[in-house]
Amino acid sequence: MNLSVREKGAVLNLPLQQPGAIYIDGAFVPPTEKRGEVVINPATEEAIGEVAVGGVRDADAAIAAAREAFDAGPWPRMSARERIACLQKMYDVLEARADEICELIVLEAGSVQSNAKARQFDIPMKHFRRFLELGVREDVKALAPELTLGAGSVTVLGTAFVVRAPVGVVAAITPYNYPYFLNLVKVIPALVTGNAVVLKPSPYTPFEGLVLAGAAAQAGLPKGVLNVITGGLEVGERLTSDVRVDMVTFTGSDQVGAAIAAQSAPTLKRLVMELGGKSALIVRSDASLKMALSQALRGFTSHAGQGCAMNTRVLVHNSIRRDFVDQLATMARSVKVGDPRAADTEMGPLIRAAARERVERYVALGLESGARLMAGGRRPPHLTKGFYYEPTFFDDVDGRSAIAQDEIFGPVGVVIGFDTDDEAVAIANDSRFGLRGGIVSADVGRAFEMARAIRTGGVTLNGGAGTQLSDGPFGGVKRSGYGRELGEDGLNEFTQTQLIEIQAG
């Protein structure tokens, strides 16, 4: 099922969709209020289609469908291999539409082509495959038996079985920056482990959520196992507060995460929160400048800075800082900003006007704080349409200032100098966030010791593994959230253990 829309006269196919519909209980259905909203391309400000908008009654229907699928349906009662066979069909449907999905990622999220293919499609599909591999495991584990002297001097042989079971109904709420990626890494492990899911994608990028609905329908997943409901704040609040929902997995800002925690508290839901970040890249005096500069530039220009794990604070040893800053400024000015559909574009737009206005407010705060603007700081004058902003970074930044402490979520980086390793670690830890970080150094052993001292969910040394490892648990500490995604740790978040004890005799 394709929804075709027009942009500049060209027909665009949005794969696996049905016009004017949301996905509840195994079927595409119109929302109860029959509302629709135009979804726009952030690069052109033109429409790419109209999406149906769900409301509270639709959220109730989606929750009810998921509840029935979990409580009475076949999905949680299937063997792991049976579920994985169904999900493999869903994977195959998505893989067959790879080109169309990547085009959709470019149009809807404003991702440049290279980012859309390599990071927003290929990597989550790799994670999908790994979850299917990990899902083939025993749900029951026997504990070692123990002998206990009981009544009448009778020796009792006792043991127990640990059963790993699905949590129940999972609400997955995802943001606009990496929508296809985040939809997959929440929905698939939840389904692999036998849960039923209600997915609420961002109103800015709903089509990348409905893609999964279409794939689930084609793959023949049982009805109610996956539901995709669009909508705004009221839909999210119903998902996070309804007693029929057992777990919420959310990626987004720390402020919204705190609101979700409050909304879910009365029903004591399990929560996995992947929230904001203000990650620090430490560049020691012995670092490879080429490597460090490449990482620093990527830390605030990749996907226009719209990534929670990006290293937007660059801590540079003062002995090399002047040369580093000069070279980084030259590189930032040379980044080609423009239409993400062009093969040579290196940075696309922000998602909406409000996101760009937020960036502009923080640039003004940076200037007011006395920081030195080294590159950018304006809208590209040659781009009159689209929500573009130039790659921007500041030097001479006060580590306690707003631009050094707040998550801007745009193409803005800061450089802060340091003189000792201990000072660098202290600056890195001087943040209410703790999601990621990095260190560039010729002394990898020393970098490892420093990484152990940084309070963050993950640290890359000299660029890390070159990809996001499917077995690497991803998540944060402090206001960057709690719980982990990916790998066996991520799979286990969607399960709970039951102890069944037995006495031989």
Q: What is the mean pLDDT of residues 366-380?
A: 98
pTM: 0.95
Q: What is the mean pLDDT of residues 43-71?
A: 97
* Helix/strand/coil for 21: coil
The mean predicted confidence, pLDDT, of the chain is 95
Q: Give the span between the Cα atoms of 415 and 24, in whole angstroms.
A: 48
pLDDT over 90, % of the chain: 93
For the chain, list the domains and their CATH numbers.
20-31+52-275+483-499 (3.40.605.10), 280-469 (3.40.309.10)
* Helix/strand/coil for 387: coil
User: Is residue 312 over pLDDT 80?
Assistant: yes
DSSP letter for each residue of 63-120: HHHHHHHHHHSSGGGS-HHHHHHHHHHHHHHHHHTHHHHHHHHHHHH---HHHHHIII
pLDDT tens digit sequence for 186-198: 999 999 999 999 9
Q: Give the span between the Cα atoms of 59 and 318, in whole angstroms.
A: 54
pLDDT tens digit sequence for 458-489: 999 999 999 999 999 999 999 999 999 999 99
Task: State residue 5's pLDDT score.
Answer: 42
Task: State residue 195's pLDDT score.
Answer: 98
Which residue in 103, 108, 274, 493 is the catalytic one? 274
- Beta-carbon contacts of 456 under 8 Å, excluding residues fewer than 6 positions away, are 279, 428, 434, 435, 436, 437, 476, 477, 480
How confident is residue 9, by pLDDT bands cut at 50, 70 and 90? very low
Task: State residue 138's pLDDT score.
Answer: 87
Task: State residue 8's pLDDT score.
Answer: 41
Please confirm, yes or no, whether 37 is among the known catalytic residues.
Answer: no
Q: Give the span between the Cα atoms of 77 and 193, in whole angstroms.
A: 10
pLDDT over 70, % of the chain: 97
CA angle (91, 467, 108) in 5-degree steps:
55
Task: State residue 13's pLDDT score.
Answer: 63
pLDDT tens digit sequence for 395-406: 999 999 999 999
Task: State residue 17's pLDDT score.
Answer: 77
